[in-house]
């Protein structure tokens, strides 16, 4: 076949690649006028029943998976006795090319690996193990990551498959199909021909992360057989030995994936996602590159936590360009934004049980300021439980917590505040203790509205637990269930800002404003202000602040921006992530006035 040739209803544009199970072409679907990729069974195998069955099995396996990080299968068809699969065309670069060019920083590696782990979680939930996770099968397209080629994937516990032609001497398939995959990325149990489960893919992902971070493979031999032997027998050099200066916590994640014994690895891909989310935040907050003074480097705010299932319906997965260290003013901004996120969750009072009564459990929200502060600063925003059936949530002004953090980090000109020593617990700015919502299960046969409420509450809990990516996925679940829930679009926009995805943030805020219904004055202003932050538009921030002249949160953020100028601010980090229907940010108080209580209510 040649470029320009017609193949059924498709016009072949260019050859993408070829392997033992066929050629993959970029093509134009002439009926739907879209670009697709088509994988065509080789002519030599066209009459072979076993090859045809395997080819179709590949399509059926991959078609079961519906996830933003997995290339979508559109159909399987036949033309002139040649079976072919029509799939999503991913216009991007393979991860192998990015690794070869040393074009990835640790934050980007974390984000890519997180997306791959999320895709694997979807596959593993359906009992499907990929068996060939490697950089060539991961494509980075703009802000998206796609996992390709479930061609040798199979369900747990099924017998081996028949052989296919090997693409190279590193792609091994025995006559019984016992060893299947690419040698350097195999798990020990895969190399020994044992039955596999999802933990084998986790090992392979560990190899990919190791290579992406260091530029070197953990297991290398002069032949495929020797490479397999080393995978089974030898421990690799620690990733931090191969790559000095790498975050210890990130190194621990990689090395845990590479444990020989599957029992000692992460037990499922959701746990990998959770660990990488922690490391993603830590890459911003706990690394201290040489060019940044110690006092300018915030400490990690992420703590170990239970894994949280991520949403297969989440909007486009974003590769977060986690920045390398910046000058002190930018770090102060980042610290302040992170504190706003945590503190605003601490002030949230949207915690309702199914029967409509507030449900609380005693978890106090705390934020740890930089270790480099005079005594290390612990900031606690607290709020007591009010008695009675009609619990009230006071209006909190979050800038009360900004000065201490900004001062502790030695930054934020014009932001004053007293740094309290951790030796004596500081008096909370508003004298309140915030309680986390109690976890609750989604009831069987829940209505659409109940499911949306559940995921909205879950999103709030995830932000409080410092799980921004899971929270973003939860709020996207809400809008998938109830596209007209404007408040959920606002929450998603705030999280997109925090995750450094300004275009997604603008889209979400615009969607919220378009819906309008159910969007109170405060959330409408949040959407306006969030778009201004995303666009680095100080004039728009000023205009938004004029609508709420006594709102200390917006005015403080505006002051931090205007003191540096719009171009001096780092990439958008996020407005004060009020988790919930805004009691945390609703109705700013005049300076010096006591916050007035407001009833807790659902969106």
Mention every residue, 6+ apart, whose C-beta is less than 8 A from residue 449: 482
Beta strands in 80-219 (DSSP E): 82-88, 93-94, 128-129, 138-141, 144-147, 154-155, 171-173, 180-182
Q: What is the C-alpha separation between 493 and 471, in angstroms, rounded?
A: 11
How many Cα atoms within 13 Å fall on the side-chain side of residue 291?
A: 5
Residue entry with tokens 């612990």: 378
Beta strands in 93-163 (DSSP E): 93-94, 128-129, 138-141, 144-147, 154-155
Contact 328, 411 (CB under 8 A): yes
Q: Which of 582, 588, 593 is nearest to 558 (CA)?
A: 588
Q: Report DSSP state, residue 430.
A: S
Note the residue count of the chain. 603
Sign of the C-alpha dihedral computed for residues 99, 102, 108 and 110 taken in this order: positive
> Residue 503 to residues 90, 260, 570: CA-CA distances in angstroms?
20, 42, 15
Q: What is the C-alpha separation between 255 and 250, in angstroms, rounded?
A: 9
Q: What is the C-alpha separation between 546 and 523, in angstroms, rounded?
A: 15
Please provide residue 161's backbone torsions phi and psi, each rounded to the nearest 5 degrees. Answer: -105, 170
Q: ∠ CA(145), CA(487), CA(111), 5° rounding?
A: 20
Q: What is the C-alpha separation between 326 and 335, in angstroms, rounded?
A: 12
Cα 439 to its chain centre, rounded Å, is 22
Q: ∠ CA(182), CA(183), CA(188), 5° rounding?
A: 115
Q: Report DSSP state, residue 74.
A: E
Q: What is the C-alpha separation between 278 and 301, in angstroms, rounded?
A: 9
> Residue 22 to residues 2, 173, 433, 545: CA-CA distances in angstroms?
14, 16, 62, 60
**What does the block give as tokens for 594?**
């006591």
Q: What is the C-alpha separation between 178 and 265, in angstroms, rounded?
A: 23
Q: What is the C-alpha separation between 350 and 301, in angstroms, rounded?
A: 23
Cβ atoms within 10 Å, residue 406:
26
Identify the three-state secondary structure at position 592. coil
**What does the block give as tokens for 308?**
């949280």
Active-site residue numbers? 132
Q: What is the C-alpha separation between 188 and 233, in angstroms, rounded?
A: 8
Contact 85, 73 (CB under 8 A): yes
Question: Any bridge partners for residue 155, and if so which?
Answer: 128
Q: What is the C-alpha separation between 379 and 259, in angstroms, rounded?
A: 38
């Amino acid at each position: 076949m040649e470029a320009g040739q017609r193949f059924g209803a498709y016009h072949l544009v260019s050859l993408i690649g070829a392997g033992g199970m066929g050629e993959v072409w970029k093509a134009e679907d002439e009926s739907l006028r879209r670009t697709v990729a088509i994988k065509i069974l080789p002519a030599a195998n066209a009459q072979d029943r076993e090859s045809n069955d395997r080819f179709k099995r590949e399509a059926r396996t991959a078609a079961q998976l519906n996830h933003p990080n997995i290339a979508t299968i559109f159909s399987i068809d036949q033309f002139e006795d040649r079976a072919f699969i029509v799939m999503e065309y991913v216009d991007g670069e393979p991860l192998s090319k990015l690794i070869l060019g040393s074009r990835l920083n640790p934050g980007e590696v974390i984000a890519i690996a997180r997306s791959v782990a999320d895709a694997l979680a979807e596959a593993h939930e359906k009992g499907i193990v990929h068996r060939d996770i490697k950089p060539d099968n991961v494509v980075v397209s703009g802000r998206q990551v796609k996992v390709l080629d479930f061609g040798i994937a199979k369900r747990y516990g099924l017998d081996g498959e028949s052989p296919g032609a090997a693409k190279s001497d590193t792609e091994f398939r025995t006559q019984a199909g016992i060893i299947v995959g690419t040698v350097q990325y195999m798990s020990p149990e895969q190399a020994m021909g044992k039955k596999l489960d999802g933990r084998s893919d986790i090992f392979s992902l560990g190899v990919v992360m190791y290579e992406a971070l260091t530029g070197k493979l953990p297991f290398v031999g002069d032949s495929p057989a020797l490479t397999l032997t080393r995978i089974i027998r030898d421990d690799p050099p620690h990733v931090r030995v191969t790559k000095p200066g790498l975050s210890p916590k990130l190194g621990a994640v990689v090395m845990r994936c590479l444990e020989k014994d599957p029992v000692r690895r992460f037990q499922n891909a959701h746990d990998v996602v959770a660990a990488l989310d922690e490391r993603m935040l830590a890459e911003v907050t706990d690394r201290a590159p040489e060019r940044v003074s110690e006092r300018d480097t915030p400490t990690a705010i992420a703590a170990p936590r239970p894994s949280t299932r991520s949403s297969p319906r989440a909007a486009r997965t974003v590769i977060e360009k986690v920045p390398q260290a910046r000058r002190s003013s930018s770090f102060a901004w980042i610290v302040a934004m992170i504190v706003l996120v945590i503190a605003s969750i601490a002030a949230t009072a949207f915690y309702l049980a199914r029967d409509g009564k507030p449900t609380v459990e005693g978890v106090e929200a705390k934020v740890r300021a930089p270790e480099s502060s005079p005594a290390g600063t612990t900031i606690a925003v607290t709020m007591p439980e009010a008695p009675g059936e009609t619990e009230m949530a006071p209006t909190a002004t979050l800038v009360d917590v900004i000065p201490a953090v900004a001062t502790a980090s030695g930054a934020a000109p014009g932001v004053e505040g007293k740094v309290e020593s951790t030796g004596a617990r500081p008096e909370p700015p508003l004298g309140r203790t915030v309680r986390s919502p109690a976890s609750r299960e989604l009831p069987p046969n829940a209505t659409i509205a109940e499911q949306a409420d559940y995921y909205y509450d879950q999103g709030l809990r995830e932000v409080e637990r410092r799980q921004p990516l899971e929270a973003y996925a939860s709020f996207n679940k809400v809008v998938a269930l109830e596209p007209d829930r404007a408040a959920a679009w606002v929450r998603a926009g705030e999280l997109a800002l925090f995750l450094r995805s300004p275009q997604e943030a603008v889209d979400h805020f615009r969607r919220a404003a378009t819906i309008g219904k159910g969007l109170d004055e405060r959330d409408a202003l949040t959407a306006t202000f969030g778009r201004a932050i995303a666009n680095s538009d100080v004039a728009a921030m000023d205009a938004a602040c004029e609508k709420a002249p006594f709102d200390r949160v917006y005015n403080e953020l505006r002051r931090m921006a205007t003191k540096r100028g719009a171009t001096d601010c780092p990439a958008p980090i996020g407005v004060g992530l009020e988790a919930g229907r805004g009691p945390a940010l609703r109705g700013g108080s005049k300076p010096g006035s006591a916050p007035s209580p407001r009833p807790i209510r659902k969106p």
